[in-house]
Amino acid sequence: MRYALIRRDRPGRADQRAELQPAHAAYQEPFLGMIVYGGGLVGDDIDTSGDVDIRDVTGNVIVFEADRKTVEDFHRNDPYTAEDMFEFAMIERIWQRVPDPAV
């Protein structure tokens, strides 16, 4: 099953995100085999054609090929979560319609 973890940072946390990013990256290493997609949320004015300054990221979306409990545990134990980075977080199961996964 696929689940999306969608999280929005609390306002004014850009420097905290930058400080915690190395710990977050190390934390997610064991999960990389089940992460289908992951990326940061940024404003329309941010150039995403290359690397993005982590301070311009305002949240993230991570899609897992895993069960709900694994995604809940990932979120609960993430260094970002431990430091109260998020004003909003949700986990939702995904039904993939496009592109057709059977093709």
Each residue's pLDDT expressed in tens, for the chain with a length of 103 residues: 999 999 999 999 999 999 999 999 999 999 999 999 999 999 999 999 999 999 999 999 999 999 999 999 999 999 999 999 999 999 999 998 888 877 7
* Residue 60 placed within a domain: yes
* Residue 50 placed within a domain: no
* Residue 102 placed within a domain: no
Cβ atoms of 28 and 79 within 8 Å: the answer is: no
* Residue 30 placed within a domain: yes
Give pTM, 2 decimals.
0.91
Could you tell me the CATH number of the domain that includes residue 36?
3.30.70.1060
Nearest Cα residue to 92 out of 32, 2, 8: 2
* Residue 63 placed within a domain: yes
Residue ranges making up the domain that contains 40: 2-44+55-94
* Residue 84 placed within a domain: yes
Buried-exposed string 2-32: b where 16+ CB fall within 10 A, e elsewhere: bbbbbbebeeebeebbeebbeebeebeeebe
Q: How many structural domains are present in the chain?
A: 1
